[in-house]
């Protein structure tokens, strides 16, 4: 920086600041400021031209007044004039004023840009740095348009001084963050990357910040930086503290540069070059070894710098997740920090181990520290550290330690901070469900959870336990007994009353044989809680009472008396009043058979995914739940519910992941279905697939059609989901036209770059189906969702399906996915009503071999009339009643609407229950 001359002290500014500080009141300050503003205004408007020193002094005063919170509406032109001065201090004040006060929409921007261009072309390094600092401080789009092409040239020029290169790199970074579409590196890419080899460490430090940001957006263009970054990191890690004296911080060589290099490498997958990868592994091992060495200084700055590098190295090891030795060593190193006296280190260690717990290589190593983590949960003073300890327990939980971890988390809940109780409750509920070794333990755990932290048990939690109890016959009696005993406590949480009312209303008959839990005892126990509950809970209890009348006729008089009292039938709440009146009337006039039909047991819930897991993901934010949790959560929720469809999801996931069956499969009654042989997509085979609960095994090719058959009879749902991406579909069809909405959801916290989709019609399909797609956004932010619209036109009949190809970059790695779009010929059906005579007359006319397709097949599940009807209607045809002489048969009719023709279609489904072949024959005229 140029020397400051003696006259640059600006005595007038010092006096003004002193006067402001000496003001006794706000009014005195405003009076002094107004006086000074009037003086400055008169000086600027005077006839006598001001010299540079005076302009600088008055502009400084205006800047000071602005910083005090007062508006400044003049003096901007004088500040711009200072930019043309050849004196450093005057030019500096001009740039400072512009950076702080000038709006990007100001009329002076053109004059300012001209002055900046002059300074950038002056080759005076001091003036160039001032100009670059001003561009970075303002950072407007106008600045980016004017200088985005000039700054890269300055950055890579051979004759540019190091200090200017540093400023240019950081200035370019600022412009790229504000206007990435205007900062195009193009021809400068390779030369910017090679700044990593610059001799000046300051230039490398500035350049790597720029390269890291560019790599996150365009990883392919900057992938050559990996080898250079590894080389530079190797030189720093292997150097002694005396080799880089100017950049050694408390005996740690270049700690900030090392951290930035390690962070840059996290933008890319492990290096493919064996030599580069070996060198990088050696660097990481050296960093881990240095962490074990005794400290060279007792100063906290030394340990901070050393640990900063260590944690970035561990983050890189976790990111690669490919070196078992390094992962275990990282886990052991973090384990040492769990008992460190520094709270921040304990917090960071717990946070990093949460991520390590999701790796198959280090999960067992993380589990060895379970006692230390449990102790941290109990004894840590800082609530944020306790929360990380709870997160780590949740992440390291598996079948071997689930009971211990759930018990410890329940114990901690009794004294846990209010800020984390709700999240703790969700985690305990998820772990209890996911790793339930038997249902009695699960029920005990959830009821204990309600007892301990009832206020924080959300509806999703107690809904979930009811769903599981209803879906499993073998646990219903135990649940009724346990909840009956829990309700006997003098103080009982309202959520416990809700669960008790629901379960006893459905399954109280299973424990009614014991005199201690006779029907009247159950009713009196529930009704003793009635007056303490809120309106929704009272409404639920009234429903339980009417269920009691169906289960236990001997309680009818007692319950009717309760329903008849004025507090019920004249209740001020309309919902309670209506229930009381209707239930009283229903119990009075309905016959036993009608009552049994109306009040029969709830059917099993057809839920696909645990609502508790969904709530936790929403609470924690996108990407917070690990991949393992998501996959395991889905599989386990399917197993616990015991539903056929959920079993299908679990089997499909197991097939796609090539994983072994869950150890709890026998306990939960899930059996994998026999594989369905692949066959050409004929009309008959399509019908078989519709009535099979388990789809065909995934093909070995690149096309993923796991979710394809699920959409034959429906138009909305989730087509595909893995740990990164979820694809949802919503579609509608009318005659030969259709519109499909595709929703692409980023399930991670990392941005998807270069996101693109292509819809193709293979082979003859391009002449049979016309699919037009609208482009999608190339960037999908973490946790965000984008939509794409497809317009579909059926030209003629078809049997293949269009393919959707999705490409994007995640963490530098290219992701490529091809799916079958669920566009089938039945989507273009128009239902047609038809009389019995017309149906069979047309059926007989369609007797040619090419007009009929017939298939005999065995259903995988027992026949359900309503399910079969729903699936036939889902095909798009009209279900005709009273047409077939055999009432067990199902008859449908419809017209396929194409652009070229309309094709009538008739269908008969003939179940044969005696032969144990539920669907033995189906006729479907060929298209």
From the annotation, which residues make up the binding site?
11-12, 43, 53, 57-61
Kindly report the number of other CB atoms within 10 A of residue 381's CB atom.
7
**What is the Cα–Cα distance from 637 to 628, expressed in whole angstroms?**
14
**What is the Cα–Cα distance from 204 to 545, expressed in whole angstroms?**
76
Residue 90: is it exposed, middle or buried by C-beta count within 10 angstroms (0-12/13-18/19+)?
buried
DSSP assignment of 275-287: HHHHHHHHHHHHH
**What is the Cα–Cα distance from 927 to 913, expressed in whole angstroms?**
30
Question: Which of 866, 907, 826, 779 is CA-nearest to residue 219?
Answer: 779
The number of C-alpha atoms within 13 Å of 579 and in the hemisphere containing its C-beta is 21
Q: Is 180 helix (H, G, I), strand (E, B) or coil?
A: coil
**What is the Cα–Cα distance from 207 to 166, expressed in whole angstroms?**
7
Torsion sign (Cα): 213, 219, 225, 226: positive
**What is the Cα–Cα distance from 773 to 459, expressed in whole angstroms?**
41
Bin 754: left if φ > 0, else alpha if -120 < ψ < 50, else beta.
left
Question: Which of 213, 234, 133, 139 is CA-nearest to residue 179?
Answer: 139
DSSP assignment of 887-921: TTSEEEEEEEE-SS-EEEEEEEEEEETTTTEEEEE
**What is the Cα–Cα distance from 401 to 379, expressed in whole angstroms?**
21
Residue 600: is it exposed, middle or buried by C-beta count within 10 angstroms (0-12/13-18/19+)?
exposed
**What is the Cα–Cα distance from 11 to 291, expressed in whole angstroms?**
54
What are residue 803's DSSP bridge partners? 760, 820
What H or E segment, with its residue span, contains residue 336?
A: helix 324-337
**What is the Cα–Cα distance from 320 to 813, expressed in whole angstroms?**
11
Burial 537-575 (b: 16+ CB within 10 A, else e): bbbbbbbbbbbbbbbbeebeebbbebbeeeebeebeeee
**Residues 137 and 101 sit within 8 Å (Cβ to Cβ):** no
Residue 921: is it exposed, middle or buried by C-beta count within 10 angstroms (0-12/13-18/19+)?
middle
Angle at 780 between CA 776 and CA 781, to 5 degrees: 155
E strands of 443-566, at which residues?
A: none
Query: CB neighbours of 877 closer than 8 A, spacing ≥ 6?
Result: 826, 829, 831, 832, 892, 893, 894, 905, 907
């Amino acid at each position: 920086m140029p020397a400051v001359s003696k006259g640059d002290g600006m005595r007038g500014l010092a006096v003004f600041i002193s006067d402001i500080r000496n003001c006794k009141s706000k009014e005195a300050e405003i009076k002094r400021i107004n006086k000074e503003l009037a003086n400055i205004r008169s000086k600027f408007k005077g006839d006598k031209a001001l010299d540079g020193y005076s302009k600088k002094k008055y502009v400084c005063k205006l800047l000071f007044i602005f910083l005090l919170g007062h508006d400044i509406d003049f003096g901007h032109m004088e500040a711009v004039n200072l930019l043309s001065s050849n004196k450093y201090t005057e030019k500096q004040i001009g740039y400072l004023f512009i950076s702080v006060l000038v709006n990007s929409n100001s009329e002076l921007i053109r004059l300012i840009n001209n002055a900046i261009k002059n300074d950038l072309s002056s080759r005076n390094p001091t003036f160039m740095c001032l100009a670059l600092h001003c561009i970075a401080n303002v950072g407007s789009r106008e600045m980016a348009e004017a200088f985005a092409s000039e700054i890269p040239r300055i950055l890579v020029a051979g004759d540019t001084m190091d200090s200017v290169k540093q400023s240019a790199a950081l200035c370019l970074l600022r412009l790229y963050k504000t206007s990435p579409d205007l900062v195009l590196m193009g021809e400068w890419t390779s030369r910017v990357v090679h700044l990593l080899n610059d001799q000046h460490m300051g230039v490398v430090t500035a350049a790597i910040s720029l390269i890291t940001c560019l790599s996150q957006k365009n990883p392919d263009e900057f992938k050559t930086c990996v080898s250079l970054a590894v080389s530079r990191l190797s030189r720093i890690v292997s150097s002694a503290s005396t080799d880089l004296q100017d950049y050694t911080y408390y005996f740690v060589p270049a700690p900030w540069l090392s951290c930035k290099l390690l962070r840059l490498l996290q933008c890319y997958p492990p290096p493919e070059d064996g030599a580069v990868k070996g060198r990088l592994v050696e660097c990481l091992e050296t960093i881990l070894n240095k962490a074990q060495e005794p400290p060279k200084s007792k100063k906290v700055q030394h340990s901070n710098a050393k640990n900063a590098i260590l944690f970035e190295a561990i983050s890189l090891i976790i990111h690669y997740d490919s070196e078992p030795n390094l992962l275990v060593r990282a886990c052991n190193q973090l384990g040492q920090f769990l008992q460190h006296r520094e709270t921040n280190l304990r917090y960071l260690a717990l946070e990093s181990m949460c991520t390590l717990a999701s790796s198959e290589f280090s999960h067992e190593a993380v589990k060895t520290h379970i006692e230390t983590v449990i102790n941290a949960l109990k004894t840590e003073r800082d609530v944020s550290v306790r929360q990380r300890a709870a997160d780590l327990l949740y992440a390291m939980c598996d079948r071997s330690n689930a009971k211990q971890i759930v018990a410890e988390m329940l114990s901690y809940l009794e004294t846990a901070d209010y800020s984390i109780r709700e999240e703790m409750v969700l985690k305990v509920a998820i772990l209890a469900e996911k790793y339930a070794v038997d249902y009695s333990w699960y029920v005990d755990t959830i009821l204990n959870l309600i007892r301990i932290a009832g206020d924080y048990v959300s509806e999703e939690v107690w809904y979930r336990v009811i769903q599981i109890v209803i879906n499993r016959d073998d646990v219903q009696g135990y649940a009724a007994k346990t909840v009956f005993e829990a309700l006997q406590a003098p103080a009982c949480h309202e959520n416990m009353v809700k669960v008790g009312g629901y379960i006893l209303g459905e399954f109280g008959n299973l424990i009614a044989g014991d005199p201690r839990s006779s029907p009247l005892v159950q009713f009196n126990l529930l009704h003793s809680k009635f007056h303490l509950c809120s309106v929704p809970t009272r409404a639920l209890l009234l429903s339980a009472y009417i269920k009691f009348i169906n289960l236990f006729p001997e309680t009818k008089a007692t319950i009717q008396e309760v329903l008849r009292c004025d507090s019920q039938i004249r209740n001020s709440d309309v919902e309670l009043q209506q229930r009381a009146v209707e239930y009283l009337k229903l119990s009075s006039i309905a016959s036993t058979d009608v009552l049994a039909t109306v009040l029969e047991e709830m059917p099993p819930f057809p839920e696909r995914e645990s609502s508790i897991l969904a709530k936790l993901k929403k609470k924690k934010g996108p990407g917070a739940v690990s991949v393992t949790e998501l996959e395991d959560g889905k599989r386990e929720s399917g197993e616990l519910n015991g539903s056929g469809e959920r079993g299908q999801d679990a089997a499909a996931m197991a097939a796609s992941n090539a994983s072994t069956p869950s150890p709890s499969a026998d306990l939960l009654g899930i059996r994998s279905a026999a594989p369905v042989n692949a066959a050409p997509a004929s009309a008959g085979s399509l019908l078989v697939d519709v009535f099979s609960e388990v789809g065909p095994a995934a093909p070995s090719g690149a096309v993923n059609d796991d979710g394809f058959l699920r959409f034959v009879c429906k138009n909305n749902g989730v087509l595909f989901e893995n740990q990164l991406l979820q694809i949802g579909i919503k579609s509608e069809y009318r005659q030969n036209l259709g519109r499909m909405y595709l929703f692409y959801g980023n399930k991670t916290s990392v941005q998807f770059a270069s996101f693109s989709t292509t819809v193709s019609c293979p082979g003859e399909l391009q002449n049979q189906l016309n699919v037009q797609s609208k482009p999608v956004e190339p960037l999908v932010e973490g946790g965000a969702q984008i939509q794409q619209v497809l317009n579909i036109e059926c030209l003629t009949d078809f049997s293949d399906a269009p393919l959707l190809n999705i490409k994007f970059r995640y963490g530098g790695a290219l992701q490529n996915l091809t799916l079958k779009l669920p566009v089938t010929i039945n989507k273009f059906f128009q239902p047609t009503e038809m009389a019995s005579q017309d149906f069979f007359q047309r059926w007989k006319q369609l007797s040619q071999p090419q007009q009929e397709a017939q298939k005999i097949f065995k259903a995988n599940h027992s026949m359900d009339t309503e399910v079969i009807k729903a699936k036939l209607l889902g095909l798009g045809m009209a279900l005709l009643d009273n047409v077939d002489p055999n009432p067990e048969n199902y008859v449908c009719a419809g017209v396929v609407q194409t652009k070229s023709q309309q094709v009538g279609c008739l269908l008969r489904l003939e179940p044969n229950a005696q032969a144990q072949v539920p669907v033995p024959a189906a006729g479907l005229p060929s298209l």
